Amino acid sequence: MGNNRGQFHLFTKRRFLPFFITQFLGALNDNLFKNALLVIIVSSAVASADSNTNFTTNLAAGLFILPFFLFSTVAGHLADRFDKAYLIRRIKFAEIILMLIGCFSLWQTNINLMLAVLFLLGVQSAFFGPIKYAIIPQHMSHNELLAANAQVGMGTFVSILLGTLIGGWLVTEPQGSMQLGALIILVAIIGWLSSCQIPNAPAEQKASEQLVSFNPIRETAVNYRLAKHNKTVLYCIFSSSWFWLYGACFLTQVPNFSVAILGGDPKLISILLGAFIIGVAIGSLCCTRLSRGRVEPGLVPMGAIGLSLFAIDLFFSSTAYAQINSSGDTVLPLAFLSMPAGLRILADLLFIGLFGGLFIVPINAMIQSKTDGASRARVVSVNNIFNSLFMVSGSLLGMFFLSYLDWSIPQFFLLLAFFNIAYMGTIFYLEPVFVQSFTRWANLKHLNRQ
């Protein structure tokens, strides 16, 4: 199948569309619930100590990510050993039960129970993650791999956007919590029905004969050695993990950044998160066009540069905004959007997301394309473990700098920008393929324009 075919043609294929709907609705439900919880925390604690709010929001982020570290190894082994479509259907059925409990926690406004449900949603996502990225190359041709990853990346972040907007706005309305509870149950049921239409994806023979181990430490070491077979895959895993630390830090801090730093109405949270997430979706879709459907490592350095440049500008735009808006009055969304400094902050978050999409889509496609099918899910599980470890580290970084050292959130964003320069500079030095490919890709683009 040619690279010139439109990137949306996969939506006409049964081997892609039901899977896309299933993963889209799963991510939607996670974010409906998670962002509603974050808005409830920030809104109810806005008058309390800032450090207390920072701690609770970072705790919520950590609880969702922790299961990826604890259960990804078993999940990867199961995904390599059994039919992936069969496992997806079982996971999606469990989501219905979790959403029933989540609906009850929203009705009771029980934050502790909400945090427990968030942790269990993380467990469910940890089991789905290795299947999600291992089933794509099993159902797609090599020429469709980047487009499929771009669509899944776009869909994931659009679902995050919808979950952010709907979840964040509903819980601020009268009776909104009950409406949200009914919605997450409905989404879970539709997700399970769509999962039943995913074509079978049986395990390869040599993988299906292996016994599942429940020793996460030993199996993580074994799976890490599988990933080390290809040095490029290993550095892609490190790069993917850094992206999720970086992105999670921004997503986690934006709610409190919107209310405590910008003095915004809680509805501003959804707008700022929306700008970031729309940017990632746009960047994901741009990958296919910029690379002409090929898996292109050269996009990664460009993404890394943009991530730092616009995070640095976000620090300065936030400082400029604080000087203009020093009255302490609550800023409504329309008032924020009418201010040049507000639009600059919005643009910074949009472009951070866009360059993040350019960064992560080729990374995921490289991991899939350069890994053997019999061990792909286990290698993806290593990626998920590192992702979770880095994201939990991001939550700890947020707690340390914002709560313990009492830094401002814009200062924390600036620190992340310089960390990104140092970390990705090290990766590009250790694995030259990224810079070499970027130079080749840029030269090719220059020649094509002449």
**319-357, pLDDT tens digit by residue?**
999 888 766 678 888 999 999 999 999 999 999 999 999
For residues 324 and 336, what is the distance between their CA atoms, to the nearest angstrom?
11
In a domain, 6, yes or no: no
Tell me the percentage of the chain whose pLDDT exceeds 70: 91
Per-residue pLDDT of 72-96, as tens digits, reads: 888 888 888 889 999 999 999 999 9
Q: Would 207 be classed as within a structural domain?
A: no
Task: Tell me which residue range forms the domain holding 118.
Answer: 12-201+216-445
Residue 210 lies in a domain: no
Going from the C-alpha of 413 to that of each of 33, 107, 428, 449, the distances in angstroms are 25, 35, 22, 36
d(CA 206, CA 116): 38
**pLDDT at position 369:** 86
Residue 7 within any structural domain of the chain: no
**Residue 209, in any domain of the structure:** no
The pLDDT-based confidence of 187 (bands split at 50, 70, 90) is very high
Q: How many domains are there within the chain? A: 1
- Is residue 53 in a domain? yes
331 forms beta bridges with 264
In a domain, 328, yes or no: yes
Helices of type H across 205-339? 205-208, 216-228, 231-256, 267-291, 299-324, 333-337
Give the CATH number, domain containing residue 122.
1.20.1250.20
The CA distance from 427 to 255, in Å, is 31
> What are the pLDDT digits (tens) for 216-241?
677 788 888 888 888 999 999 999 99
